[in-house]
Amino acid sequence: MKNGKLRIRPLTFPFTLSLNQVFPPKDDSISLSSALQHYIASDSPSQGQKIHTHLLKIGFIPNTNISIKLIILHIKSGCLSFARQVFDQMSKPTVSAYNYMITGYLKQGHIEESLNLIHKLVFSNEKPDGFTFSMILKLSTTSSNRIPSDIGKQVHTQILKSNVEPDDVLFTALVDSYAKNGKVGYARTVFDMMLEKNVVCSTAMISGYMKQGCVRNAEDIFEKTFDKDTVVFNAMIEGYSKLLETAKRSFEFYIDMQRLNFHPTISTFVSVIGACSVLSAFELGQQVQTQIMKTMFFTDVKLGSALIDMYSKCGRIEDARGIFNHMPEKNVFSWTSMIDGYGKNGNPHKALELFNKMQRELRIKPNYVTFLSALSACGHAGLVAKGWEIFESMERNYSLKPRMEHYACMVDLLGRAGSLHQALEFILGMTEKPGSDVWGALLGACRLHGDVQMAGVAANEIFKLSSDGRPGAYVALSNTFAAAGKWEGVSEVRELMKERGVSKDTGRSWVGTNSGLCGFHVGQKM
DNA sequence: GACGCTCTAA
């Protein structure tokens, strides 16, 4: 029977399908289609995979419709490679076939494969549709160096050129992509173009603003959001939790949302715990932990890692370890939090011990951040040789190309140990152009060892890199002069800062009192 | 015609 000429045979589901029932005439596509549909909609799609096995056995060539259903079936069963086989055998995969495959890869975290398919689609005769565009935009929000950061703009242009009429979802994806790539202005333009703004796009806009520190704008959008839900509250709480100045507001929102009958979720708790670490408010953190224990979230690995981090940032490393030990599931995040905690709490040897343990015994792959924590631990312990060994193992054993932060960490390590010239040599030998963090690490080491001359070199490089008047390097240079007792140097730098219009914000601290947290700055009287 | 959007740890 040819495709399209089908004999209709109604089937009633559910019933137990025997393969012979499905294919009495060899390729009755309607019954085949319904059978596949049945399994796709069922809770056990993998049962339907037998149909594919049977089709292969009898040498059946599926048409487009059947192929797509097979792809959906395999993806739902978690077998991407089978889905891909079907896809590859399609003579002319349709855009929806591409879309299903791309989503499948995306959901399982196979970023590379989804990018490859998008590439393939672009060079095929098929036109990407709204689904494709939204997936590309979604991809632009995951970090991958294969995705250019202006991809949002490119997709935006393509949408305008194509016949795709953007709907709410596509608009939101566009807003989110711009917002996450630091283009809040563009995000806002698209946001304002939407006639009816729902809570989802408001949330995307809010977290974009929060990420840029535009708290007022985020609050403005929040106020105007009428269909508020848990997620938008969480976005506000998360945004507030990042900054010392606003972290207190996280708690207000946390209370507010509950008063309005929105139940806190894992994300809520993670952010609130984050606010506690920013505020070093460990007692508050303990109270939140008690709250968490009352929910079913206490075994969550993200929450566990957040708690480890909170306790170690509050200097309660043993409490952090307690959480770590009791976590039923640990991943690279939890291990890294613990390693980092030991490193920052004056126990670098314990940090390195855990770093070894996770690799040797548990075969957990360290990632960029883990290496950062391990390198920084070496720095604190003054273990230069160990630091080199770890730095080199990144690429050799794990194919992780050191990033700017790792270089900065190595410079810090060498510098702290007093090998300033070796540190400079290391910087000059870098394949990439050293960033201001790298020079900043050298500058810090110069201050430590009173090398005014090299401090000048480092500071100069930082001035060249940051034309935005960032005060850090000036202050560090001035402190270097001060530490070396060269007061004329100090005033020179101060003059230079005035001349270039650089100002340093007044430092502030927080202290817990009976009436809550209280902020104060240098020189302030109670 | 089942595919696409917002908040979550180091």
Statement: residue A498 has pLDDT above 80: no
CB proximity A292–strand B (7 Å threshold): no
From residue A353, alpha-carbon distances to A102, A340, A378 in Å are: 41, 12, 11
Residue A512, pLDDT > 70, answer: no
Buried b (16+ CB within 10 A) or exposed e, A9-39: eeeeeeeebeeeebbeeebbbebbbbbbbbb
- The answer to whether strand B lies under 7 Å from the CB of residue A342 is no
Q: Is the CB of A250 under 7 A from strand B?
A: no
A118-127, A388-397, A493-502, A514-523: which range is least confident on average? A514-523
What mean pLDDT comes out for the span A289-297? 89
Closest C1' nucleotide to A96's CA: B3
> Distance between alpha carbon A205 and the CA centroid of its chain, in Å?
17
A96 beta carbon to strand B: under 7 Å = yes
Query: Residue A274, CB, less than 7 Å from strand B?
Result: yes
Which nt sits closest to A367, CA to C1'? B10
Q: Is the dihedral of CA A34, A35, A37, A38 positive or negative?
A: positive
For A443-471, how does the pLDDT look when each residue is reduced to its tens digit (9 = 90+)?
Answer: 988 888 888 888 888 888 888 887 655 66
A189 touches strand B (CB under 7 A): no
Q: Is the CB of A172 under 7 A from strand B?
A: yes
> pLDDT of A332-354, one tens digit each?
999 999 999 999 999 999 999 99
Among A425, A471, A480, A412, residue whose Cα is nearest residue A448? A480
What is the model's pLDDT at position A227?
Answer: 93
What is the Cα A412 distance to its own chain's centre?
26
Where residue A17 falls among pLDDT bands split at 50, 70, 90?
very low
Nearest nucleotide (C1') to the CA of residue A310?
A: B9
Cβ(A186)–Cβ(A197) below 8 Å: no
The residue lying closest to nucleotide B4, measuring its CA against C1', is A131
* Residues 396-455 (A) near nucleic chain B, CB < 7 A: none
Using alpha carbons only, how large is chain A's radius of gyration in Å? Answer: 29
Cα–Cα distance, A349 to A383 (Å, whole number): 10
Q: What is the pLDDT of residue A7?
A: 36
* pLDDT of A451: 85
Please report how many Cα atoms fall inside a 13 Å half-sphere around the Cα of residue A234, on the Cβ side.
15
Q: Which two tokens stand for residue A130?
A: 């709204």
**Pick from A55, A36, A54: which is nearest to A46 by CA?**
A36
Taking the complete model, does pTM exceed 0.85, yes or no? no
Q: What is the 3-state secondary structure (H, E, C) of A452-505?
A: HHHHHHHHHHHHHHCCCCCCHHHHHHHHHHHHCCCHHHHHHHHHHHHHCCCCCC
- Tell me the pLDDT of chain A averaged across its residues: 85
Q: Is the CB of A138 under 7 A from strand B?
A: yes
- Chain B bases closer than 7 angstroms to a protein Cβ: 1-10
- CA of A73 and C1' of B2: distance in angstroms? 10
Model pLDDT for residues A42-87, shown as the tens digit of each residue:
887 877 788 788 777 887 788 888 899 999 999 998 889 999 999 9
Q: What is the pLDDT of residue A482?
A: 76
Peptide bond into A24 cis (omega under 30): no
CB of A30 under 7 A from strand B?
no
Residue A470: its pLDDT value, please? Answer: 62
Question: What does the pLDDT average to over A492-520?
Answer: 58
Nucleotide nearest to A98 (CA to C1'): B3
pLDDT digits 0-9 by tens, A231-258: 999 999 999 999 999 999 999 999 999 9
Q: Three-state SS for A316?
A: coil
Enumerate long-range contacts of A263-267, CB under 8 Å, 24 or more apart.
A263/A230, A264/A230, A264/A291, A264/A295, A265/A230, A265/A234, A265/A297, A266/A297, A266/A300, A266/A302, A266/A303, A267/A231, A267/A234, A267/A238
| Euclidean distance between CA atoms A281 and A313, whole angstroms | 9
Higher pLDDT, A30 or A242: A242
Q: Do A112 and A146 touch, CB atoms closer than 8 A? A: yes
Q: Looking at the C1' of nucleotide B8, which residue has the nearest alpha carbon?
A: A267
Helices (H) and strands (E) in chain A, counts: 29, 2
Measure CA of the first residue to CA of the last residue in chain A; give whole Å: 90
